[in-house]
Amino acid sequence: DQAQTSLRTIGLAAIFVLTWNSGFIGAEYGLPFAGPFTILFWRYFALTGLLLVYLLLRGRLSMPGWGATGHAALVGFLSHGVWLSCVLLALDEGVPAGIVALVVALQPLTTGVFSGMATGERTTLRQWIGLLIGFAGVATAVGARLNVRDGVSAFGYLVPFVSVVAITIASLLQRRRELQTERTPIPMDLQMFFQVTATCLGVAVPALFLEQLQTDWTPPFIAAMTWLTLVVSLASYTFMWMLIERMDATRVAGLFYLGPPVTMLMAWIAFGDTLLLTDILGLFIATGGVVLVQGGGLHRGPRAD
């Protein structure tokens, strides 16, 4: 039934937005106890072990071929390793979380620009308007919180843009593969295993040589790592790839506009951060933009040439 399918997709999108953006809260808890690369290493080391045990117990561990494995590893390294490393590095450099969130929110626009070339899916005028409205909502929510901080390096302000590039490429690569019906699909759990393994290996080098894996294993850090590993990395990324299977890349990317306002609401609940009127206004504007991007049906196939 189309209505039930649409409701399930909407529910999946809502859960994805909540779990994905809880990562900012988890990172704020974890960064005082370990460096950015060390946090990611422990997180993905645990994930790799969990998925390996799961696949072995289910008898599902297999090698689908070098092409498929390499694709999954590349997508995982870009969307997990590079994206998260750059976000954590920016926060560790002292860049305000609001500025990081605002820069990362540029991803829907970059996805919209390149979606046609990469996947053959057309970004409609309605979607472009929705994307611009969504960005206006983000700017409204974050703009009032932007404060100039002395002593923050240019690197800190530039590195979040690498996050945007990385996850945009990952989303388009994954969506293009989903649209290539002649390719045998890889089971989601096996895809996740190759993605997190590549991420673990990728961040191990800077974690060892730059940070020496220095970690303060306190209860707050263990709690933060448990949340980041099971909920943010395992659950939310699974939800994202499930959404990419159901709708085009521009619609999925549009959900990222809800990130900064939702994160601010979470920070208000978790840390008692002051919630401004502009936060609520920005959330409503961003939601309106997302509705426009998602409009016209939840499923979209490739355009006819």
Question: What's the pLDDT at 303?
Answer: 37
Q: Which of 10-19, 63-72, 142-151, 273-282 has the lowest mean pLDDT?
A: 142-151
* 121 φ, ψ (degrees, to nearest 5): -90, 130
Question: What's the pLDDT at 229?
Answer: 92
Give the pLDDT mean for 130-159.
76
Going by the DSSP 8-state scheme, the letter that residue 256 receives in this structure is G
Question: What's the pLDDT at 150?
Answer: 52
Sequence-distant (≥ 6) Cβ neighbours of residue 256 within 8 angstroms: 104, 105, 107, 108
- Of the candidates 132, 126, 179, the residue with the CA atom closest to the CA atom of residue 293: 126
Question: What's the pLDDT at 302?
Answer: 38
Q: Which of 11-25, 99-113, 148-162, 263-277 has the highest mean pLDDT?
A: 11-25
The whole-angstrom separation of Cα 17 and Cα 20 is: 5
- Of the candidates 4, 282, 303, 299, the residue with the CA atom closest to the CA atom of residue 145: 282
Q: Residue 304 class from Cβ within 10 Å (0-12 exposed, 13-18 middle, 19+ buried)?
A: exposed
230-268 pLDDT, tens digit each: 998 888 878 887 887 887 767 887 788 888 888 888 888
The whole-angstrom separation of Cα 282 and Cα 290 is: 12
In terms of pTM, does the model score above 0.85? no
Does the pLDDT of residue 305 top 60, yes or no? no
